[in-house]
């Protein structure tokens, strides 16, 4: 069967999704029937003149939607699974910011920190048997043998590493081996940074906090994606900054148009914080054309563009991922932040940053606030980054997370209320669910916690109140019988809240 590539979709929609839509239409029309084998990857590449990555993305996307079934060493087959299919999360109004900044010049963004802290504390105090809220992979998904051997070797090489108050090995708290390794890693994705300009940080939260403190003062405005990671909202409030939420498309990421309007109407807009790859919690990948526009827009308005690239390593596919910083060759307006606590070793909380034109100020703030970053974590990351062991680990981790996301998506399709939508990211640690209007994920959080299931309600990811019917669903743990039962129970609670019968 020959299917022409669709030309009626807007350019920002990724090519693999446009091709997938054509095949979905063919299935609905009966042109492709249940049990029929799909064309091979090689045939798809030739038929549609696309890359290997695009062909694979299309097939995996259709599989995640429930339209295809993969059979090892055989191929993909059309499945008759209407009950397994869920619509993608809806597209928001991208024309303007989610809500205005308070007009009172002395007002600042308040309230979200207390709300988030209360939810997190309730989760910690409860007798949780299944955690569907946190997004840190369990220890079983990390190569502890390689990590332990690396640490042991380093301690033999530097026997006084843990007993030195200020390591003689470090340069102003930054070990040269770590700086060199991060500069090489950055170069592989199109970022040119000198090793001396690599600043070691304790995870990504410290990096973003330092960046905001360097570029903004109390009362200034910071633009963030909506929805966004709740930890960022806590950092912004703690610095007494105002937050302006910019709508985020589940297909293309932060709205450039809404941000342009924000720059025109908010003279104190000093920084924009984004996660361009596998945005948390939507899982969106920002197209390269959007990245280039975003960098140029922020440079034109002399605003800092703070990039959190902690999830770029989780992106599936063979094509290299280009961070925003790769487009920042001259102005230095992009502050690049990356952490490895979710991809390499949660216990180390090792990260790094380059603050571009603000790098000197960030270094000063870093030393004033936390002095040196511990050296052991830097040396471990330097030893492993780019190694064969680290590449094997990341390949295995991406594959495992993919299986878990797809399994969770199928469980949601089977057990959650009719009308539920979800994201289908090309990598990462979670799904974003959108339930029918009027649903309360805060109520579901309370009910589920009483049954030992921890969730992450949508109210944690915005201060606008518009995501009460949404939730983040972690896909970090293997989907075993216990996990299946927990999702079944959660779906039953959700159906009851909406007055729908529990799905079989």
Residue among 1, 57, 6, 3 nearest 317 (CA):
57
User: In this predicted model, what pLDDT tens digit does every residue of 245-262 receive, in sequence order?
Assistant: 999 999 999 999 999 999
Residue among 201, 180, 133, 498 nearest 359 (CA):
201
Residue among 433, 343, 401, 328 nearest 86 (CA):
433
- State whether residue 87 is helix, strand or coil: strand
pLDDT reported for residue 450:
96
Do 475 and 423 touch, CB atoms closer than 8 A?
no
- Non-local (6+) Cβ contacts of 8 within 8 A are none
Q: What is the DSSP letter of 11?
A: T
HSE, CB side, 13 Å, CA atoms: give it for residue 165: 0
| The pairing of beta strand 456-457 with beta strand 453-454 | unpaired
The domain 15-85 having CATH identifier 1.10.10.10: the answer here is: yes
User: In this predicted model, what pLDDT tens digit does every residue of 365-410 receive, in sequence order?
Assistant: 998 988 888 899 999 999 999 999 999 999 999 999 999 998 999 9
What averages of pLDDT result for each successive group of 10 residues across the chain (504 residues)?
Answer: 39 78 81 87 92 90 80 81 69 81 44 86 94 94 96 94 71 90 95 95 95 97 96 94 95 95 96 97 96 97 97 87 92 95 94 96 92 91 96 94 92 94 93 96 97 97 93 96 95 94 71
Sequence ranges of the chain with CATH classification 3.90.1150.10: 113-140+391-498
Token pair for residue 123? 């989760």
Residue among 194, 149, 176, 141 nearest 384 (CA):
149
Chain-wide mean pLDDT for the chain?
89
Gap between the terminal Cα atoms of the chain:
36
- Non-local (6+) Cβ contacts of 75 within 8 A are 37, 38, 40
CATH architecture for the domain at 144-389 = 3-Layer(aba) Sandwich (3.40)
pLDDT reported for residue 1:
41
Sequence ranges of the chain with CATH classification 3.40.640.10: 144-389
Do 339 and 350 touch, CB atoms closer than 8 A?
yes
Sequence ranges of the chain with CATH classification 1.10.10.10: 15-85
| The pairing of beta strand 87-88 with beta strand 421-422 | parallel
pLDDT reported for residue 10:
36
- State whether residue 494 is helix, strand or coil: helix
CATH of domain 113-140+391-498: 3.90.1150.10
pLDDT reported for residue 2:
41
């Amino acid at each position: 069967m020959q299917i022409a590539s669709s030309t009626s979709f807007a350019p920002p929609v990724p090519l693999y999704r446009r091709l997938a839509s054509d095949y979905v239409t063919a299935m609905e029309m009966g042109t492709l029937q249940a049990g029929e084998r799909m064309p091979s990857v090689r045939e798809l590449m030739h038929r549609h003149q696309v890359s290997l990555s695009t062909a694979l993305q299309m097939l995996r996307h259709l599989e995640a939607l429930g339209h295809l079934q993969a059979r090892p060493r055989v191929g993909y087959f059309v499945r008759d699974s209407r009950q397994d299919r869920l619509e993608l999360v809806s597209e928001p109004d991208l024309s303007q910011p989610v809500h205005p900044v308070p007009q009172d010049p002395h007002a600042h963004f308040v309230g979200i920190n207390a709300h988030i802290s209360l939810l997190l504390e309730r989760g910690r105090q409860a007798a949780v048997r299944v955690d569907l809220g946190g997004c840190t992979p369990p220890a079983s998904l990390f190569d502890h043998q390689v990590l332990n051997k690396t640490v042991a070797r380093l301690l033999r090489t530097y026997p006084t590493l843990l007993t030195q108050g200020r390591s003689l090995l470090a340069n102003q708290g930054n070990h040269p081996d770590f700086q060199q390794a991060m500069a090489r890693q950055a170069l592989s994705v199109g970022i040119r940074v000198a090793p001396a300009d690599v600043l070691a940080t304790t995870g990504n939260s410290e990096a973003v906090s330092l960046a905001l403190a360097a570029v903004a003062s109390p009362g200034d405005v910071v633009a963030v994606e909506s929805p966004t990671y709740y930890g960022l909202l806590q950092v912004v409030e703690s610095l007494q900054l105002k937050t302006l939420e910019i709508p985020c498309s589940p297909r293309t990421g932060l709205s450039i148009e809404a941000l342009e309007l924000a720059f025109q109407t908010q003279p104190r807009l000093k920084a924009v914080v984004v996660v361009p790859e596998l945005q948390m919690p939507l899982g969106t990948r920002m197209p390269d054309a959007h990245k280039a526009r975003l960098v140029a827009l922020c440079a034109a308005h002399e605003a800092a563009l703070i990039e959190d690239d902690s999830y770029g390593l989780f992106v599936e596919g063979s094509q290299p991922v280009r961070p925003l910083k790769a487009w920042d060759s001259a102005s230095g307006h992009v502050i690049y932040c990356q952490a490895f606590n979710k991809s390499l070793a949660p216990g180390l909380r090792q990260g790094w940053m380059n603050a571009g034109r603000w790098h000197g100020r960030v270094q000063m703030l870093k030393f004033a606030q936390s002095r040196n970053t511990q050296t052991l974590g830097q040396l471990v990351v330097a030893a492993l980054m780019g190694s064969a062991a680290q590449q094997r680990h990341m390949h295995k981790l991406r594959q495992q997370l993919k299986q878990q996301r797809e399994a969770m998506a199928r469980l949601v399709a089977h057990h959650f209320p009719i009308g539920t939508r979800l994201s289908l990211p090309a990598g990462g640690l979670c799904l974003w669910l959108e339930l029918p209007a009027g649903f309360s994920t805060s109520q579901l959080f309370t009910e589920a916690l009483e049954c030992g299931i921890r969730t992450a309600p949508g109210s944690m990811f915005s201060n606008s109140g518009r995501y009460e019917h949404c939730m983040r669903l972690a896909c970090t743990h293997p989907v075993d019988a216990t996990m299946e039962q927990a999702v079944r129970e959660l779906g039953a609670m959700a159906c009851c809240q909406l007055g729908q019968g529990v799905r079989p």
